[in-house]
Amino acid sequence: MTQTIAIQGIQGSFHYQAAKEYFGQATNVLECSSFDKVAQSIVQEKSQWGVMALENSIAGSILPNYALIDQLGLFIIGEHYIDIQQNLMALPHQKIEEIKEVHSHPMALLQCKQFFQSYPHIKLVEDSDTASSAKRIYDNQLQGIGAIASKAAAETYQLQILAHSIQTMKVNATRFVVLQKAENTIIDKQANKASIKFQVHHKRGSLATVLNVISDCKINMTKIQSLPIIETPWKYAFFVDIIFEKYEDFEKAHKLLSIMAEDFKVLGIYKNKLS
């Protein structure tokens, strides 16, 4: 059976690259115009898995994606990191001075904001995807319009790179997670990383108590992210990534946190790619 992996974007996008590197070239990629459609394709079983960006070393976390994973009952089974090199591209035989607008995904525009301070005549326009911006320029032969995208996108859509690696920080990595439906999950006991979600009571020291439990179970917390709970003003859910050496330590923490924290939920158990 052919593997089908849903991604946000099209061929030449960084999501496409992540999917191919994680699953291998002989995979069927389902192109989606938004992260919501990626998640829905998994829920509706149009795809077995999905690849979704979760955070970037320059621009930070993509907060709505945490909520998508939680609300739709998706489960993280893996992660993949890509070194992101953003490039300014346009149709051949143009100069930067001739470019009036540059289109790309909001995250890419944010990563390259400093570069365009030297080109105040260029208007930055948000688009749904980096590669889609490049493809639209090629399909419509748009003069005076540029895109920020990968080198692969430039090659795929026959565009000329006007400036290489224009992101503000040259070390620019994006973390992607691999998702599937939670009820289809088979836990890998060799896993050493987990993503969890919980709430705490509005009492002094509630969060500190939960974090102490994590520490006492010999578990290292690598990330904590809070999101407001829309239905309950001024209350927050915490999304936390943890790393452990022994799966038994995680199981112990799981039992304790299930009792101590409100709405405790395991969003994923997988192997840490940075270890």
The residue extents of the domains of the chain are 4-83+172-182, 87-163, 193-270
Q: What is the pLDDT of residue 210?
A: 93
How many CB atoms neighbour CB 234 within 10 A? 7
pLDDT at 250: 95
Whether the domain at 4-83+172-182 and the domain at 193-270 fall into the same CATH topology = no
pLDDT of residue 229: 85
Instruction: Out of 56-65, 84-93, 123-132, 180-189, pick the least confident.
Output: 180-189
In the chain, what is the straight-line distance between the N-terminal and C-terminal CA atoms, in Å?
32
262: its two tokens: 């409100």
87-163 classified as CATH 3.90.550.10: no
- The pLDDT score that the predictor gives to residue 200 is 87
Q: How many helices (H) and strands (E) does the chain have?
A: 8, 15
Q: What are the pLDDT digits (tens) for 239-251?
A: 999 999 999 999 9
| Residue 194 tokens, joined | 């987990």
Separation between Cα atoms, residue 196 and residue 216, nearest integer Å: 17
- How far are the Cα atoms of 130, 137, 193, 241, 243 from residue 223, in angstroms, in the given order? 27, 38, 11, 5, 10
Whether 94 contacts 187, CB under 8 Å:
no
Model confidence pTM above 0.75:
yes
Of 186 and 223, more confident: 223
Domain 193-270: CATH superfamily is ACT domain (3.30.70.260)
Question: 260 or 137, which is more confident?
Answer: 137
Say which range, 116-120, 187-191, 236-240, has the weakest mean pLDDT: 187-191
> What confidence score (pLDDT) does residue 221 get?
95
Tell me the pLDDT tens digit for each residue of 154-200.
999 999 999 999 999 888 899 999 999 987 677 777 899 999 999 98
Whether 82 has a pLDDT exceeding 70, the answer reads: yes
Q: How many CA atoms within 13 Å lie on the side-chain side of 125?
A: 15
CATH pick for 4-83+172-182 out of 1.10.357.10, 2.170.120.12, 3.40.50.2000, 3.40.190.10: 3.40.190.10
* 3-state secondary structure at position 70: helix
